[in-house]
Amino acid sequence: MMTFAPLLLVFLPLVAAGVSFALPERLSAWRNAANLGVAFTKLLVVAYLLNATEAGLVFEWRYEFLPGHDFVLRLDRLALLFVTLSVFLWLLTTIYAIAYFDRGPNLPRFFGFFNLCVLAATGVAMSGTAITFFLFYELLTLATWPLVAHKGDDKSLRAGRIYLSYTLAGSVAFLAGILWLQSLVGAIEFAAPPDLTGIPALTLTLIFILCIGGLGVKAAIFPLHGWLPEAMAAPAPVSALLHAVAVVKAGAFAIVRMIYDVYGIGTVAELGLGVPLAALASVTILYGSVRALMQSDLKKRLAYSTVSQVSYIILGASLIGPYAVIGGLVHLVHQGIMKITLFMCAGALANRMGIKAIADLDGAGRLMPVTMAAFSVGALGMIGLPPVAGFISKWYLGIGALQSDAAWVVAVLAGSSLLNAAYFLPLLYRAWLLPPPPDRPAIRELATTRDRMLILPAAVTALVALGAGIFASLPFSPLGWATLIAEGGYLR
Amino acid sequence: MSPLDLLMAAPLGFMAAALMLGPSGRWLILLAAPLMAGLALWLALLPPDAAYLVGQWDLPLGILLRADGVARLMILATALVIGAVGLHALAEPPEKPGHAAQAETFWPLVYLMWAGANAGFLTTDLFNLYVTLEMVSLAAVALAAMGSLAAALRYFMIALLGSLAYLLGVALTVARYDTVDVILLAQVAEADLATLLALGLMTAGLLIKAALFPMHGWLPPAHAAAPAPASALLSAIAVKLGFVILVRLWFEAFAAVTGPAALHVLGGLGAAAVIYGSIQAMRQDRLKPLVAYSTVAQVGYLFLAFPLVAGTVEPSGAWAGMTLHGVAHMLAKAAMFLAAGLMLKAVAGDRIADLGGLAQAMPLTVTAFGLAVVSLMGLPPSGGFTAKFLLLSAAIEQGAFLYAGVLVIGGLLAAVYLFRALSACFAPLAGAGPDTASRGPVTGGVQAVAPLALAGLAIVMGFAGTALVDVSAIEAPWATPTVIQPEAAP
Amino acid sequence: MTADLTLLLPLTVLWPMLLAGLALLPGWGPRMVMFLPLGPLPALAAALFAPRDTPVALPGVLLDGGLELTATGAIFLGGAAVLWFWAGVYAADYLRRDSRPAAFALFWNLVLAGNLGVVIAADIVSFYVFFAQVSLLAYPLVIHDRKPASMRAGTVYLVLAVLGEVAILVGLMLASHGAGGAIGIEAVRAALALPSTHPAALGLLIAGFGIKAGLMPLHVWLPVAHPAAPVPASAVLSGAIVKAGIFGMVALLPLGTPAAVAGNLLTILGFSGLFLAALLAVGQAGAKSVLAYSTVSQMGLVMGVLGVALAAGSAPATVLPAVALFALHHGLAKGALFLGVGLAPLCGRGWRWGLMAVLAVLGLSLVGMPLLAGALVKSAMKDPAGALGATLIGLSALTTALAMARYLAVLPTAKPRRRPPLLMALPFLALAGAALWLPWLLYADVTGKSPLAADLASKLAEAWPLGLAVLLIAGAVAVGLKPPTLPEGDALGPVQRRAAALTAAARAALRAGSRSLHRSRPKPQIVIGEDLDRIEDIFREGAAAAILVLAITGAVVAASLI
Amino acid sequence: MDLPLPVLLSTGHLYAVTGAALVGLGLYAFITLRHPLRQLLAVNVVGAGIFLILGGLGRGPDATDPFPQALVITGIVVAVALTAFGAAMIVRQAQTRAAAKPAADDNENPAP
């Protein structure tokens, strides 16, 4: 169990993917059962791992993948943070996706790649070496593409193409950076950061730029964010996944790894790379918010909001201070939970009532109160209003920025909060306060099992987002875990 | 008993049998595929110093067969590719409508190519290499002729030219050193004009066979016109033999002769091939020419590796990268051609734009195509990635940023053109109304097994990197020479 | 026993939240209006019985938050509880035929919980959470009747509330950083006095709380939002919710250490609000608007005094009790006055005189008529206000009196023979009574002085501005002089128009910018395409291959010879 | 590599020089001529030249070395086989063209 636990987490979704691919279209019940079963089993495994890891155990599995390059799956606390997030949200998204698609076409393919995606995401989290990481990172790119292009119409295909061109270009830049670094210091293990002394500062800076530039594509850092709004052509469960856990998070997570486990905060600070990165993240935060304000399509607005929010994580990582790290890490989780809520709600609205444009939201709160309540929680959390979880992140980031003598970041946070309010509150206003258009038929929100499977996951994540905020200082809360991570190594 | 000569003799036997059996000769593949695969595996697992003198004659008259790492991997991949392509051809006879007799000529040619390729990979004798080269060329031209006679004829002429250039080089070598054995040459070769001229002629001739830019002109028409199984063999095997012989020349026989500048000529051509082939592939709107130009680009990587291999003291990484790239390309490209053949047959057209709706109609085939795309682009996990990773590492370690850049950009360009084809499969059926938005299943799953298996192998290669690298290092020229040192002829 | 009584603090906030949760249940929602008065009962009990200065830790909640009741807080808490209770009773009747009772009950209870929580929070994170709760969730109360004016008011309210939230959040962050990351209220308050703390912290906090408390010129939302809400909501908005801002200052202003800049600024803004808002009140046409401006004026007084104390570095103990007492009186009186507005249309002839009488007394109390509670609390305020402040407070009786007269003049009239319902009249009377009585009761406890100690004659002498006001009013009535009619929210109209124009301009600019960024560029035509075809054709010729063989041979030879 | 005239004029070298001339001629023809049959012939001329070189230069000092001769013989066999194959293809192509032409000319009855 000790060494094979990480392998199990990779193996389980592979089984689900295989089953999904293999079962014919019509056996949807079996496919659903397999997917849910695996997702649930993973949750149990993760629960066990959380307990064990909290007690200080580190699970590791390695084998020599190429001479001198080990394939290492390592479950440290940071990895487990991401794994837990993805496994938990995956279960909900699976439930949601089953209801969302019901009996749509091409479901074996969809669920197959869906599971490959979770495999890659957990793999990204557990990677113990840079090369292992790259493997999963690319797998993630590939597994996501069929999901983005799932609908197969022109828009989706275009989105898929744009997605690929951005992400592939990014990953080769990252690969080049990693290989360059490896040619100087040998194989890079996250658990034992390489010794960078003696390497010219310029080289290190260039490598850093290559890596962050490459990873920044997935993390949607300005100006590399162009693919993300396009990828909105994907079905809602995919968008939810893309934005909350899988793709953008992998990028952000990788940047955290890069700064803390490859370069180390000392080197980053010495090279003076933190401040420019923080500045770039700040630009992204503001730019994404402004662009979100200009969108008239609901999902696009959410997409630009993601562009903005994910950079909080990067901001936290680049500020290099105890509170900022915690803020960044905890936002990794909080943003995931809140954003997945928003996207699942947006999908439910589109699915049940055909609402896509913001102008169509009028009166949605009256027709689908549970959905809109969940949406509201997510939106308020994004603004950073307490007691939703987003507030906790913002608090830690703010204090962290001050600790790092970067008071200007606080102004960025404040400006972003205001912009977030400016683009989220009108949505809530429309949904709750304006009357629905007269031609919209009344529906019963939770009439069938399918409806409940569609809407309740969002309600659950909304409650979790609230709970993560209200009970932020419990030991296993995201904040508690992020603090544990930070104390376990990043505060030295 | 040694698998070395069996690997050459068995296909020849099968060829003879196929010729005699006529139409029913096609069933021989059911025997040949497992047998050859078994032999190839046996070979791969032999102890490292496996060399074998045919007929017990000493050099230079005797023929030395030597199974170094390159040969082992190439033979194994050849067995897998030809086996899979052959089994596939059982289900999907490679014939144009109304030319049923073609299928009959297909089988002997396959075995001829198999024998020639295996012999070429094993032998260390420049003249024997010439013979094997001609065997393979003959088979390849005949296979290409199954599609378009004009293209095949053009191929034939150019290939013949290449053979002659090579032969002229061999003649000069004989004149200069009175031996054609690679191992003996390695000990005596000097950098004088005759040697260089010989090397240059042989290289130029082999580059034609290997279809390296700018000598690739014959390849796209021939590959595009041939039936899918034939194209698969042409792209996977025919060009690889030229490459392997070049490896023998540049890193074994004349390793002491070649300088960095000459290596950069090859590397530069390789880099140009990557870019040029990719650009041409991007411009194609028909599927098979696209895949054919992708071969042009992929061959470029093999030669791009030459300066990288020579550039380090311990070039194991680059060496393995080069070798594995060849193997991965064989598997992936064969899979891709087979899948493309099935797809084009299903849509009864040859344009990329015609492929709409296939993702639903033939998911297994499209999956095979997709997996091949992954490996060809060099995305993990796949053999293509392992190879490209090793090459890129080597390039960066040596500070060869130009080659590193080409490696990186080539992957991206490959993504552009290959994903264009792949995403066309996901598009809805062209010109169809909403009612008929999807095609019915056009083929059963059986035909898709072979491309799927090949593409799957290309992917699986990505997980066995260490083992493959170890195999590729067996008796590699840069390693400590442990070959049988035959006595010089009295 | 004390251990048990501390549990009243969590109960104070949890109980209303529980009621709010019940309002969400289908079928229960409308009925929950009946239970509105239940919400503040634990708070009342806590104000009376909970031990003072005994923190209750809530491990795991927020950032390990806690609750604590200070002596000053107890007065705020008690006042708020009384006001909320009686307003709840009033609302239970007022909303009987409302179309959205469930929503009202939900947000009423949530805002209540936030309002009470602000007072008892022991750390700034909890404080901020409660503050945001009371601030933002009051929005649905403001727009409860969905009239266009209410919606407009709600928007203004929300914009300023969000701005205030952000200002407070940033201020708290800066302060907490100054305190080395500590979040306890006392620690943060102490840090605000340190020179090492970012100077913007204090300014931002004052601005944020100032918005909530109607500090001129951040008050613009208040005169439009308070009148827009249903009467009971207006009562709590003006009586209790603005006090959240005041309490924020009470809790966090670093009294005891002179802070000249911030203190003087607060003094100037506060006292100018005291007079200006009262004068603006005189120009209002609606009774609720008059009261809202009056609130701005009265809060200006409190903040002016706080400013004086801040600048002078007076010890908290000399200032806060008076402030608390003043806030208590104002909250209860203002609540009663608002309820009076709701009662006025229901009071037929005889009842109306009674109503007017009570309202007049309340008004006079606010003005500072000697012997009434208002005079008492004002006199308490004069000590920390300094000489100038005391004079200004005295003078303010004039303007306040004018405003109150205006209020009585514009009270809506009723059809004759209407009787106010008991459940609406009772809260009004109860609040009025509490406003007039409680300060007397608490004065000695809080200030340590006897309420009757001061010389009555001197007090009467100090009431000359009131006399002047009476004269002025009488004169104006006699001459038939009518006050000018001013728009609600005074500066708001022009500001909003400017803002709208600016927003439009910004949007246009952004659109143009984005268009130039994303202009659909003509796709680059592959002009070299045909050339590439031609090149390829050449490569396919055998002749080319032959020449290339020679060329490559030559290249290899030449390169090797180099 | 300056060879003294006598050596150059020795039998072996004479063969070789002739061979080289043939190679040059053949190559020139290959480049300038387009018809496949002519190209095939040109290639054969080149081949003949190469075998001359092989035989001439590789014969060693005493002209008894069997090794080059073995090579030449093998080479000739291969060349003949290839030439036959090429010729067959050329014939096939000519036949196909001849069959296709009338069909293209008169539209009444396309060839089956």
Residue A138 C-alpha, separation from nearest chain B C-alpha, in angstroms: 6
Residues of chain C contacting A, Cβ within 8 Å: 59-64, 125, 128-129, 132-133, 136, 143, 146, 151, 158, 162-163, 165-167, 169-170, 173-174, 176-177, 181, 198, 507, 510-511, 514
* Residue B44, CA distances (Å) to A436, B14, B315, B472, C11 in order: 73, 22, 21, 10, 78
Would residue C361 count as lying in a domain? yes
Residues 6+ apart with CB under 8 A from B304: B267, B270, B271, B274, B391, B403, B406, B407
Length of chain B in terms of residues written: 490
Q: Is the dihedral of CA B371, B374, B377, B381 positive or negative?
A: negative
Mean pLDDT of A44-72: 81
State whether residue B150 sits within 8 Å of chain C by CB.
Answer: no
The two counts, helices (H) then strands (E), for chain A are 20, 2
- Indicate if the pLDDT at residue B431 is higher than 60: no
* Other residues' Cβ atoms within 10 Å of the Cβ of residue C529: 11
- The closest of A64, A118, A111 to A89, measured between CA atoms, is A118
Q: Say which of A387, A410, A479 has its CB closest to residue C170.
A: A410
- Indicate if the pLDDT at residue B433 is higher than 50: no
**Is the Cβ pair C547, D31 closer than 8 Å?**
yes
- b/e sequence A47-69, b meaning 16+ C-beta within 10 Å: eebbebbeeeeebbbbeebbeeb
* Cα gap B6→C395, rounded to integer Å: 118
The whole-number pLDDT of residue B254 equals: 87
State whether residue C524 sits within 8 Å of chain B by CB.
Answer: no
Would residue C22 count as lying in a domain? no
State whether residue A66 sits within 8 Å of chain B by CB.
Answer: yes
**Is the Cβ pair C542, D27 closer than 8 Å?**
no
Q: Which residue of C has its CA nearest to A396?
A: C173
* Residue B186, CA distances (Å) to B68, B114, B237, B248 in order: 16, 28, 27, 10
Q: Any idea what the Cα angle at residue D63 is, between residues D61 and D69, rounded to 5°?
A: 125
* Tokens coding B226: 């041939």
**Is the Cβ pair C546, D32 closer than 8 Å?**
no
Judgement on whether residues C435 and C557 belong to the same structural domain of the protein? no
CB A365, CB A117: distance < 8 Å: no
Length of chain D in terms of residues written: 112
Q: Which of C448, C468, C487 is the last residue of a domain?
A: C487
* Cα gap B453→B338, rounded to integer Å: 11
Q: What is the CA radius of gyration of chain D?
A: 21
The whole-number pLDDT of residue B284 equals: 87
Q: Say which of B404, B428, B466 has its CB closest to residue A176.
A: B404
> According to DSSP H, which parts of B178-286 are helical?
182-188, 193-210, 219-225, 228-233, 239-247, 260-283
Q: Which residue of C has its CA nearest to B163?
A: C549
The whole-number pLDDT of residue A160 equals: 84
Judgement on whether residues C342 and C436 belong to the same structural domain of the protein? yes
* Cα gap A34→A39, rounded to integer Å: 8
Q: Which of C442, C463, C487 is the last residue of a domain?
A: C487
Judgement on whether residues C421 and C307 belong to the same structural domain of the protein? yes
CB B62, CB B53: distance < 8 Å: yes
DSSP conformation class of B285: -
* Tokens coding B225: 């016109």
The whole-number pLDDT of residue C453 equals: 59
Q: Which residue of C has its CA nearest to B222?
A: C540
Judgement on whether residues C497 and C483 belong to the same structural domain of the protein? no
- Indicate if the pLDDT at residue D104 is higher than 50: no
The whole-number pLDDT of residue B244 equals: 92
Would residue C197 count as lying in a domain? no
- Indicate if the pLDDT at residue B442 is higher than 80: no
Let me know if chains C and B touch, i.e. at least 3 Cβ pairs under 8 angstroms. yes
The whole-number pLDDT of residue B97 equals: 54
All chains having 3 or more CB pairs closer than 8 angstroms to chain D: B, C
pLDDT band for position D2 (cuts 50, 70, 90): low
Long-range contacts, stretch C25-31, CB < 8 angstroms, 24+ apart: C28/C102, C29/C101, C29/C102, C29/C103, C29/C105, C29/C106, C30/C101, C30/C102, C30/C105
* Tokens coding B310: 């020579």
Judgement on whether residues C312 and C369 belong to the same structural domain of the protein? yes
Judgement on whether residues C458 and C501 belong to the same structural domain of the protein? no
Let me know if chains A and D touch, i.e. at least 3 Cβ pairs under 8 angstroms. no
- Indicate if the pLDDT at residue A272 is higher than 80: yes
Q: Say which of A152, A168, A179 has its CB closest to residue B428.
A: A152
State whether residue C545 sits within 8 Å of chain B by CB.
Answer: yes
The amino acid occupying position B245 is I
* Cα gap C280→C271, rounded to integer Å: 14
- The closest of D57, D45, D50, D54 to D11, measured between CA atoms, is D57
CB D56, CB D13: distance < 8 Å: yes
Strand partners, A60: A74
Q: Give the domain range for residue C368.
A: 255-487
A163-167, A438-442, B226-230, C259-263: the lowest-pLDDT one: A438-442
Mean pLDDT of B93-100: 62
* Cα gap D61→A50, rounded to integer Å: 84
* Tokens coding B10: 């068995």
**Is the Cβ pair B164, D47 closer than 8 Å?**
yes
Would residue C21 count as lying in a domain? no
* Cα gap B382→B377, rounded to integer Å: 9
Place of tokens 């050339």: C531
pLDDT band for position B332 (cuts 50, 70, 90): very high
- The pTM score is 0.83
- Cis ω for the linkage preceding C217 (within 30 of 0): yes
State whether residue B12 sits within 8 Å of chain D by CB.
Answer: no
State whether residue D41 sits within 8 Å of chain B by CB.
Answer: no
The amino acid occupying position B252 is E
* Residue C358, CA distances (Å) to A179, A273, C332 in order: 85, 70, 13
The whole-number pLDDT of residue D105 equals: 47
* Cα gap C358→C430, rounded to integer Å: 11
- Indicate if the pLDDT at residue B51 is higher than 90: no
Query: So what's the ipTM on this one?
Result: 0.78
**Is the Cβ pair D82, B134 closer than 8 Å?**
yes
* List of domains in chain D: 9-99 (1.10.287)
**Is the Cβ pair B390, A106 closer than 8 Å?**
no
The two counts, helices (H) then strands (E), for chain D are 4, 0
Would residue C188 count as lying in a domain? no
Mean pLDDT of A326-338: 88
Judgement on whether residues C376 and C434 belong to the same structural domain of the protein? yes
Length of chain C in terms of residues written: 562
- Indicate if the pLDDT at residue A261 is higher than 70: yes
- Cis ω for the linkage preceding A387 (within 30 of 0): yes
State whether residue B217 sits within 8 Å of chain C by CB.
Answer: yes
β-strand B63-66 against A69-75: which pairing, if any? Answer: unpaired
* Other residues' Cβ atoms within 10 Å of the Cβ of residue B481: 13
Judgement on whether residues C440 and C496 belong to the same structural domain of the protein? no
* Tokens coding C83: 């006001």
* Cα gap A361→A358, rounded to integer Å: 5
Range from A20-24, B91-95, B201-205, C294-298 that averages highest in pLDDT: B201-205
Strand, coil or helix: C121: strand
Q: Which of the residues A66, A107, A164, A180 would you substitute to probe the B interface, choosing the one with the greatest number of B C-beta atoms within 10 Å? A: A66
Strand partners, A72: A62
Mean pLDDT of A377-401: 87
Judgement on whether residues C470 and C499 belong to the same structural domain of the protein? no
Strand, coil or helix: A62: strand
Range from B180-194, B320-334, C87-101 that averages highest in pLDDT: B320-334
Residues 6+ apart with CB under 8 A from C241: C111, C115, C134, C138, C212
- The closest of A69, A68, A66, A79 to A5, measured between CA atoms, is A79
pLDDT band for position B438 (cuts 50, 70, 90): very low
pLDDT band for position A477 (cuts 50, 70, 90): confident
- Indicate if the pLDDT at residue A455 is higher than 90: no
Judgement on whether residues C425 and C509 belong to the same structural domain of the protein? no
Residues of chain C contacting D, Cβ within 8 Å: 542-543, 546-547, 550
**Is the Cβ pair A64, B316 closer than 8 Å?**
no
The whole-number pLDDT of residue D56 equals: 77
* Cα gap C362→C432, rounded to integer Å: 7
* Cα gap A476→A472, rounded to integer Å: 9
CB A70, CB A64: distance < 8 Å: yes
- The closest of A205, A185, A331, A176 to A256, measured between CA atoms, is A331
Would residue C366 count as lying in a domain? yes
pLDDT per position as a tens digit, A334-353: 888 898 888 888 888 888 88
Q: Which residues of chain C have pLDDT under 70?
A: 1-3, 416, 451-462, 483-484, 486-495, 510, 512-530
Judgement on whether residues C527 and C439 belong to the same structural domain of the protein? no
The whole-number pLDDT of residue C517 equals: 55
Place of tokens 């071969």: B295
Judgement on whether residues C347 and C477 belong to the same structural domain of the protein? yes
The whole-number pLDDT of residue B488 equals: 43
Q: Which of the residues A419, A429, A444 would you substitute to probe the C interface, choosing the one with the greatest number of C C-beta atoms within 10 Å? A: A429
* Tokens coding B287: 């599927």
CB B386, CB B465: distance < 8 Å: yes
Q: Which of C487, C506, C534 is the last residue of a domain?
A: C487
The whole-number pLDDT of residue B335 equals: 92
Share of chain A above pLDDT 70, in %: 98
Structural domain total, chain C: 2
| B415 chain-A contacts, CB cut-off 8 A | 164-165, 168
The whole-number pLDDT of residue C228 equals: 81
pLDDT band for position B311 (cuts 50, 70, 90): confident
Residue C531 C-alpha, separation from nearest chain D C-alpha, in angstroms: 22
Would residue C216 count as lying in a domain? no
Q: Say which of A160, A161, A182 has its CB closest to residue B393.
A: A182
The secondary element (H helix, E strand) that includes residue C56 is: strand C56-58
The whole-number pLDDT of residue D101 equals: 65
State whether residue B210 sits within 8 Å of chain C by CB.
Answer: no
The whole-number pLDDT of residue D10 equals: 65
* Tokens coding C361: 């007394």
Strand, coil or helix: A444: coil
* Tokens coding C153: 């008011």
Q: Which residue of A has its CA nearest to B404?
A: A176
**Is the Cβ pair C169, A398 closer than 8 Å?**
yes
Average pLDDT, chain B: 83
- Indicate if the pLDDT at residue A114 is higher than 80: yes
- The closest of C232, C118, C220 to C159, measured between CA atoms, is C220
The whole-number pLDDT of residue B483 equals: 43
- Indicate if the pLDDT at residue B50 is higher than 80: no
Q: Roughly what angle, to the nearest 10 degrees, separates helices C492-517 and A274-293?
A: 110
Between chain A and chain B, the number of residue pairs with CB atoms below 8 A apart is 88
Residues 6+ apart with CB under 8 A from C398: C465, C466, C468, C469, C472
Would residue C82 count as lying in a domain? no
